[in-house]
């Protein structure tokens, strides 16, 4: 079964500064950890895809307007306290394994090497609707 693991950043309830204030060594350690996670997932045959995402200042919200034309607004906005920082799609044997992976990813190092304990959402990826539909 495939699962999407969503790394959420929340300014509310965190006890660490935003990544743009970390030292170069702290950023390198964080990125190296993510590379190790991806390598282990690949070696275990569980890797499907994963990406870090640009911050909220680079995101756009799109809705269909008149006649289906895109209406684009900037956002989420600066007052947004939470945003999606990255994702993985993994293919694992059980929901428990997906939860184990999410817990490990949550330990990514931050300032001073301390685990960030960022929330990681775990969502099953639906492959097709139920046959009775």
Q: The CATH number of the domain where 119 resides is what?
A: 3.30.70.1060
Report d(CA 56, CA 74) in Å as an integer: 9
Q: Considering the domain boundaries, does residue 130 fall inside one?
A: no
Residue 42 lies in a domain: yes
Residue-by-residue pLDDT tens, the chain, 133 positions: 999 999 987 666 667 777 888 999 999 999 999 999 999 999 999 999 999 888 777 888 889 999 999 999 876 555 556 778 899 999 999 999 999 999 999 999 999 999 999 889 999 999 767 676 6
Q: Name the pTM for this structure.
A: 0.83
Q: Is residue 129 part of a domain?
A: no
Report if residue 131 sits inside a domain: no
Angstrom distance (rounded) from CA 120 to CA 49: 16
What's the domain count of the chain?
1
Task: Tell me if 133 is assigned to some domain.
Answer: no
Q: What pLDDT is stored for residue 60 in this prediction?
A: 84
Q: 49 lies in which domain range?
A: 2-124
Task: Give the burial class of 120: count Cβ atoms within 10 A of its Cβ; 0-12 exposed, 13-18 middle, 19 or more buried.
Answer: buried
**Is 100 within the bounds of a domain?**
yes
The answer as to whether 132 is a domain residue is no
């Amino acid at each position: 079964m495939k699962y999407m693991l969503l790394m959420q950043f929340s300014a509310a309830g965190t006890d660490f500064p935003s990544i743009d204030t970390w030292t170069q060594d702290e950023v390198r350690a964080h990125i190296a950890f993510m590379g190790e996670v991806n390598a282990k997932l690949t070696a275990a045959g569980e890797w499907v895809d994963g990406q870090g995402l640009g911050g909220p200042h680079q995101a756009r919200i799109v809705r269909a307007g008149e006649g289906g034309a895109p209406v684009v607004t900037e956002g989420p906005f600066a007052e947004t306290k939470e945003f999606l920082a990255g994702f993985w799609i993994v293919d694992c044997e059980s929901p428990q394994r997906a939860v184990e992976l999410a817990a490990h990813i949550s330990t990514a190092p931050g300032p001073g090497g301390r685990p960030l304990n960022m929330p990681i959402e775990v969502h099953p990826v639906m492959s097709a609707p139920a046959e009775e539909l």
